[in-house]
Structure 1
Amino acid sequence: MELFSIAARIATLHEADEFGRMVSEANQTLHKKYKSLDISCTVHEKVMLWRCREDDPRFFKGNHLQHVYVTAAKTVAEYVLQVKEQRLVRKILEDEFDFPEPEEHAQILKHCGMILDRGPGPDESWKRRQDMLEQGIRQCLAERPLLHVDGFLTFRAQGYMKELKEIVEYAVDEFLMERQYEEFVHMLKYFVYFQQPQVPLVHLIHKGGQEILLLDEEMKPLQYRNDENVVVERLDQQDLQMEDTVVTTLISVSPAKIIIHTREPHMAVIRTLSQIFEQRIEICRYCPDCHAYFREGGEVIT
């Protein structure tokens, strides 16, 4: 009796090798427990067919068939997640969104990959998608022991495909936000480039994280000025909430030079300010002027 017959369309040699490797590992696991299983895996016209038979009536006593389905479902789910998922995401992006430029596609797919890829630790998203696939595959095999992976994804895996679409939508939003942010920074760079300096120097004490203190050339608190001609749009409530005020103030006073005193020069806020003010920026990790503001370990004295 045929326990299952699982077919998968193979688009590339890499897909065939990966599916073959996963099936081989699953077959070894099954043979260790059930010596009499007749298992085969063949490729014909870019379709890989994984078949499993058992003619010993003793096999069908107990819960052995369910164990076979669990192993098969886990193998197919891993194959989908590791091999087919990126192609599914690419198709969703092409079908549902209008980004004709290859560079835009690449950036959005990069965002998707960061969300989809399983890291070294526990990954709730990966586990959730894996569970959805495994449950759906086991149900299909219980109803009918013939499964076509691509047909299953199209017609039976609605929850899984819905989650992939939501991931693509999130990646698109991230891409658009980044592009908007880059345009915002470019606009401010252009404004600063043509602006004449109004004060010689501003010291920026980076307390750590999003905390910043602005001082004048005498290391006294800088007086914040509101210039009605300068409008800084808040693009991201998380990342730019602090930067809005700092950038507005710095543009308003237009210093010829800005010394950023920081123990964390690679922070996003420092990179943003360096992008906008470019050659006006000088990074200080330690000097007599800022030494008094920092305790050992980088904490600012308030």
Structure 2
Amino acid sequence: MKLLSVGLTGATDEIRVKLQKDCVALAQEGFQVAIDETSKGNYTFLGCNVVDGELSFRSYERIKQLLKDYVAQIVSELIVADEEKNIIRKIINQNYHYFNEEERAAVYENTLKALNGNKTNVIDFSLVDRRKQILSRLTDYLDHHHELVVEGFINFRLKDYREELVHLVDDVVEDFMMELEYKEFIRVLRYFVDIQEPQADEVHIVIDPEGVFKIIDTAGNSIHNQYLESYISQSADEINYGDLLVTALITLAPQEIVLHGCDPQKTQDTVEIIKNIFEGRVTICKGCSLCRPYVLGNITPDN
């Protein structure tokens, strides 16, 4: 007597083994459950059949419930572990077909990282919550159906789950595009610095906890330029000191830059931009008379 069947489009060996393992418990109650395999079009169906033991109505309902729980658990794990990746690939290939292969691969990997790290804007979309949501839908479905086609179940019974994946991919693509724009921005600035005649061999940047900076030469003298002077008349609230510092350094195009007194929590973005533009030219001081008032040894040197 067939109790349940599961239709799959991919390999069935792993699912079959898990079903057979779970069905061993039924043998202890005097029931032998066999798993058969049939093909219908593109689908392979694994059928769960009771082949031994007399079935009263109560026994039938008990075995059916146990098998339903087994199948729901196995398929929910299959969807989260394998089918979810296929869904993400399809979303990327359909919605972002104009990306080249390398870009689509990067979006795919970033999406998986966002899912595994639960860095999403979706509430209750962690691995545990996704599995719980899918398991609940499967259990409800199997209460009223004896045949489960996994692909159809995903397409028609998990539409909201798929939509959440679509939104997640969109968010990842937005971040990816911003990263590409940032890299292009850095590339242009780096090129501009490389073709400029250096205005100084070495400069020291002292940054206080508020982000206000001072540029000095190796002799300890302040360096001023026309660009900086144009901002002196502005109020402190109107000045973005990070942007101002980057622009000043691009104008000076020094061969070597030493940063002092950097607070990682307040100046990290500015420091990273400077390091990216002036690649190989930047050193972060571990601690000296210039930066000691602002930092107590919590800066990692730039090797």
Give TM-score, length-normalised by structure 1: 0.74
Judged with a 3 Å threshold, the aligned counterparts in structure 2 of structure 1 residues 257 and 156 are, in CA distance, closer, same or farther, namely: same
2:236 maps to: none
Tell me whether 176-185 or 245-254 shows the greater mean CA deviation.
Answer: 245-254
How far did 1:7 drift? 1.3
Change (3 A) 1:41 1:134: farther
Conserved 8 A contact 2:206-2:213? yes
Please tell me whether the aligned partners of residues 7 and 149 of structure 2 are also in contact (alpha carbons under 8 angstroms).
yes
1:254 corresponds in structure 2 to: 253
- Segments of 5+ residues of structure 2 without an aligned counterpart are 119-123, 231-239
Unaligned runs of 5+ in 1: 230-240
Please give the per-residue CA displacement for 1:207-247, whole angstroms capped at 9, x wherever unaligned: 89x96854412557776974799xxxxxxxxxxx8753432
Q: Whole-Å Cα distance in 2 between the matches of residues 228 and 80 of structure 1?
A: 61
Q: Which amino acid aligns with 2:45?
A: L
Separation of aligned partners in 1, 2:77 and 2:249 = 52
Identify the residue that residue 140 of structure 1 maps to in structure 2: 141
Q: 2:26 aligns with which of 28, 31, 34?
A: 31
SS in 1 for 2:86: helix
CA shift digits 1:41-75 (9 cap, x unpaired): 537587443322346223246x6644432331121
Residue 163 of structure 2: aligned partner: 162
Larger Rg: 2
Per-residue CA deviations over 1:163-202 (Å, capped at 9, x if unaligned) read: 1211211221121111111111111111211223334433
CA contact 1:7–1:149 (8 Å) conserved in 2: yes
Shift of 1:277: 1.1
The corresponding residue for 1:7 is: 7
Letter in 2 for 1:81: V
RMSD: 3.7
User: SS where residue 143 of structure 1 aligns?
Assistant: coil
**TM-score, reference length from structure 2:** 0.74
Contact 1:225 / 1:252 at 8 angstroms: preserved in 2? no
Tell me by how many angstroms 1:80 deviates: 1.2
Q: 1:36 to 1:246 in 2, by over 3 A?
A: farther
Looking at structure 1, the residues matched to 29 and 208 of structure 2 have their Cα atoms a distance apart, in angstroms, of 64
Change (3 A) 1:219 1:46: farther
Amino acid at match of 1:177: M
Superposed counterparts of 1:1-302, under 5 Å: 1-10=1-10, 15-28=11-24, 30-31=25-26, 35-40=30-35, 42=37, 44=39, 47-54=43-50, 56-57=55-56, 58-60=58-60, 65-117=64-116, 124-204=125-205, 213-217=213-217, 218=219, 226=227, 243-261=242-260, 270-286=271-287, 290-291=291-292, 293-298=294-299
SS of corresponding position for 2:278: helix
Identity of aligned residues (%): 24
